[in-house]
């Protein structure tokens, strides 16, 4: 992943991990690296995050433990480029992260894209609990209609069952609220993906986890 780069692999991994794990600006990370005796510009760290986030997410999906077949799905909004963008997320009934997807709009097509990604990475759920959103309900109906399953995904719309996903949103939203924000949609996509990966590591969902969160992250960013 890090071949033909000027900096050693461990330095790149540290810079990227700092951004995903802690509430730090790129200039904050530049200062931390300088304290550790490494001179690296904040714009270089930003390029590392932008470049390596998709590969790290891909490695995470290949090593994430199987979730159960009862999901809780919801979306929350964030600001990117001065506009509301929608982060679709799901956890299973035990609070384990199923999947996530940032979209530009809140509509049936966006929800359907999320479900297709989540099912592709995790398999089909037996049941999914959603809020009263008509677009989410319609999206699940479309997914059921477009696939040849013996049993369709059962839909529930029970408000209290979604408390677990709403609480899980806060781990991500809190970081975004304090952070310097996102100027562009694609930057938001890649940074949020990294934050979700670290959140999954924190929940001990990675197969063959290492002794520390950073060591596990390094194994995904190798």
How sure is the predictor about 179, in pLDDT bands with cuts at 50, 70 and 90?
low
CA quadruple 58, 188, 21, 76: dihedral, nearest 10? -100
Return all residues near 54 (Cβ < 8 A) that are at least 6 apart: 190, 193
Stated pTM of the model: 0.94
Domains and CATH numbers, the chain: 9-63+206-220 (no CATH), 70-184 (3.30.420.10)
pLDDT reported for residue 11: 96
Q: What is the pLDDT of residues 12-68, one digit of tens each?
A: 999 999 999 998 999 999 999 999 999 999 999 999 999 999 999 999 999 999 999
Mean pLDDT, range 200-219, rounded to an integer: 96
Residue 6 contacts by C-beta under 8 Å, 6 or more apart in sequence? Answer: none
């Amino acid at each position: 992943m890090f071949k033909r780069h000027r900096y050693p692999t461990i330095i790149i991994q540290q810079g990227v991990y700092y951004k995903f794990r802690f509430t730090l600006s790129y200039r904050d990370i530049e200062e931390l690296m300088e304290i550790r005796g490494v001179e690296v510009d904040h714009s270089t760290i930003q390029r590392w995050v932008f470049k390596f986030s998709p590969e790290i997410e891909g490695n995470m999906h290949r090593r994430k433990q199987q979730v159960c077949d009862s999901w809780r799905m919801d979306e929350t909004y964030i600001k990117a480029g001065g506009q509301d963008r929608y982060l679709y997320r799901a956890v299973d009934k035990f609070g384990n992260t199923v999947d996530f997807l940032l979209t530009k709009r809140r509509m049936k097509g966006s929800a359907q894209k999320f479900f297709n990604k989540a099912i592709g990475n995790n398999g089909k759920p037996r049941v999914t609990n959603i809020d009263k959103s008509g677009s989410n309900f319609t999206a699940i109906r479309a997914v059921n209609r477009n696939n040849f399953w013996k049993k369709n995904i059962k839909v529930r719309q029970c408000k209290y069952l979604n408390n677990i996903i709403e609480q899980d949103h806060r781990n991500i939203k809190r970081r975004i609220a304090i952070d310097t924000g996102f100027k562009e949609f694609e930057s938001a996509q890649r940074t949020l993906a990294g934050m979700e990966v670290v959140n999954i590591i924190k929940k001990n969902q990675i197969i063959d986890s290492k002794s520390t969160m950073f060591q596990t992250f390094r194994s995904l960013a190798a």
